[in-house]
Homo-oligomer: A and B are copies of this chain.
Amino acid sequence: MADHIVTAYDTELQTLGRKIAEMGGIAEKMLSDAMDALVALDVDLAQAVVASDPRLDVLQRDIESASIMTIARRQPMAVDLREIVAAIRVSGDLERVGDLAKNIAKRAVKIATEPRVPRAVIGLKHMNELAANQLKDVLDAYAERDVERAQAVWTRDSELDALEDSIFRDLLTFMMEDPRNISFCTHLLFCSKNIERVGDHATNIAETVFYLATGDTLPLDRPKLRSGGSLVPTPEAQDEP
């Protein structure tokens, strides 16, 4: 009987893990497709990104309710409880990544008819690749319970923040050069903010991997690249600039 209970419990955990892996795959694809749609101003691709989002929402609701039911039914303690809390948190982060990718896709549709500023998209594409790598790495770290890899993601987030700063300044320059660039570049500003927030969700997941492995939390202050390039902790990393 004890065996049976353990097996059923393991099956529940495996199902949670499989659903999170599915969410991760969808979120990664949405993010990369959204950027492709933005670069090519490809309205069809953008609409496909928007259409993928409801699946992510359904998966997140499923994971949340299955997790809560498992906690209530099995009364797991210590690492088992952390497994389930981690599943709830990671699925919440992935659902938000999907929303952010969807928002980029919608902006691609909105600016498809605007005068283009091709130079302005280059930095954004680079930034998106960095964020996509962070997301991929941290999902691998989560799948393998690899704390070191998670911490590396957590530390690297400062690069994304620095890049957003520089893109912000570039976009302001393009807007000042020619008022016809303003509307286009304004949407790109929001896209850049969205990508930076994808990075924040990757660091949230890194923190969850750390919590899962150690039962502890990473310090509230994340390291942030200051202009000098040195890594110093600052409490302001979460929502800059």
- In the bound complex, CA of A99 to CA of B217 (Å): 19
B68, A103: Cβ atoms closer than 8 Å: no
Give chain B residues whose Cβ lies under 8 Å from the Cβ of A3. none
Q: Choose among B68, B77, B103 the residue that contacts A81 (Cβ–Cβ < 8 A).
A: B68
Docked-complex contact A239 and B102, CB < 8 angstroms: yes
The answer to whether B239 touches A103 (Cβ under 8 A) is yes
Alpha-carbon distance between A172 and B181 when the two chains are bound, in angstroms:
11
The reply to whether the CB of A186 lies closer than 8 angstroms to some CB of chain B is: yes
- Our pick among B73, B175, B220 for the contact of A57 (Cβ within 8 Å) is B220
Given contacts A179-B176, A220-B57, whether A72 and B68 have CB atoms under 8 Å apart is no
Minimum C-beta distance from A166 to chain B (A) = 15
| Interface residue ranges, A against B (CB under 8 Å) | 50, 54, 57, 61, 68, 71-73, 75-77, 81, 85, 92, 99, 102-103, 106, 110, 172, 175-176, 179, 182-183, 186, 189-190, 193, 217, 220, 235-236, 238-241
